[in-house]
A = this chain, B = another copy of it.
Amino acid sequence: MAFIGSSELVPRVLAGEVRAIARIITRAEAGMVECRPALDAIYGHAGRAHVVGITGVPGSGKSTLVAKLVSACRQTGRRVGVVAIDPSSPFSYGAILGDRIRMSEVAADPGVYVRSMATRGAMGGLAQGTLDTVDVLDAAGYEVIFIETVGVGQDEVDIARAAHTVVVVSAPGLGDDIQAIKAGVLEIADMHVVSKCDRADADKSIADLKNMMAMGLAMDRGNSWQVPVIPTIAPRGEGIPELLASIDRHWTFLHDSGEIDNRRMLINERRLLKAAEDLLRLRFVHRSDGRIPQLLEQLRVRSISPHSAAKCLLEDIQSGKEP
């Protein structure tokens, strides 16, 4: 089939045509320069969807939860998008074992679009690729978009923070190591889910979360919003209606309180910075004026430090190739 220019795909994306959506996303994820004007146009049409980040440590049962949430959301008649960050390399087993299969129970529904993103590419750019994908689904008319990420690592946490509503999933009985990681995302939660509440130690997890919140860890998320802790047993659907109700209530809260403007501003700030970092990285890679080998040689003999070399690099960033 002939190559269809990305700009020609835009009206088809806006009409909700699935194949056009898939193509644009593939090009965005690959960082293709050709699709940037189309993505710019799509960004201009996005901005209506409720973007919900679902994040949690490995083993917390996020994927099952998201699958059930999608079904519940569909029952309210809304079109639903899912962007799952696949925490594996493109060359590995991860993509086979991962979210794609678990999401298959909802993927046959035409009112649902599921997309799995790889986390690691030579160029970085995970956040930008993910958020471009969210824009595409948003502009295509999906009303609720779930971003599922592992809540570990700065990139992943940043992506979760790009959502209007952040749901942090914890499972009872995970070890020290895992709890410590979980702590890193506690303060970004608009709501907590404790999964696997058929386990005997679930009550302790719920109590621990409530204690941590009482200690002020969730204070900066809009002062009149009470962060709920929602127990679930996702495979049986228990707690899912409560969770969806809470997500919807948060969306209403954001609008009623005017907090939505503030949150959108923070999201745009982070996104602008990420995009600038991605561009910087591309210019670094494509630069061909000999400056980088020169700096690397100075680093090798330690006549300059990485920090000073980076300063030199930024001095003349404008002369870099335009990606």
Contacts and interface: CB of A to CB of B under 8 A. Distances in A.
A307 B275 contact: yes
B124 A154 contact: yes
Interface string A258-278: 000000110011011111111
A187 interface: yes
10 contacts: A44-B305, A87-B181, A92-B183, A152-B153, A155-B155, A269-B296, A272-B284, A272-B306, A276-B280, A280-B314
Given A97-B180, A154-B155, 18 more contacts: A46-B302, A57-B58, A58-B174, A58-B177, A86-B180, A88-B180, A89-B186, A92-B184, A94-B184, A131-B306, A150-B181, A272-B295, A273-B280, A273-B284, A276-B284, A279-B314, A315-B318, A317-B317
Interface residues of A, number: 89
In the A-B complex, list the 5 residue pairs whose CB atoms are closest, starting with the nearest.
Answer: A153-B153, A92-B183, A94-B180, A275-B310, A276-B310
A277 to B, nearest CB: 5
Given A93-B180, A268-B296, A299-B268, A310 B278 contact: yes
A183 B97 CA distance: 11
Contact of A179 (B97, B278, B315): B97
Interface string A281-306: 10110000000100110011011111
B124 A272 contact: no
Contacts of A152: 58, 87, 150, 152-153, 156
Contacts of A94: 179-181, 183-184
Contacts of A317: 314, 317-318
A217 interface: yes
Contact of A303 (B44, B124, B300): B44
How many identical chains are in the complex?
A: 2
Interface stretch (A14-22, A35-43, A66-74, A225-233): A35-43
Given A94-B180, A154-B153, A44 B302 contact: yes
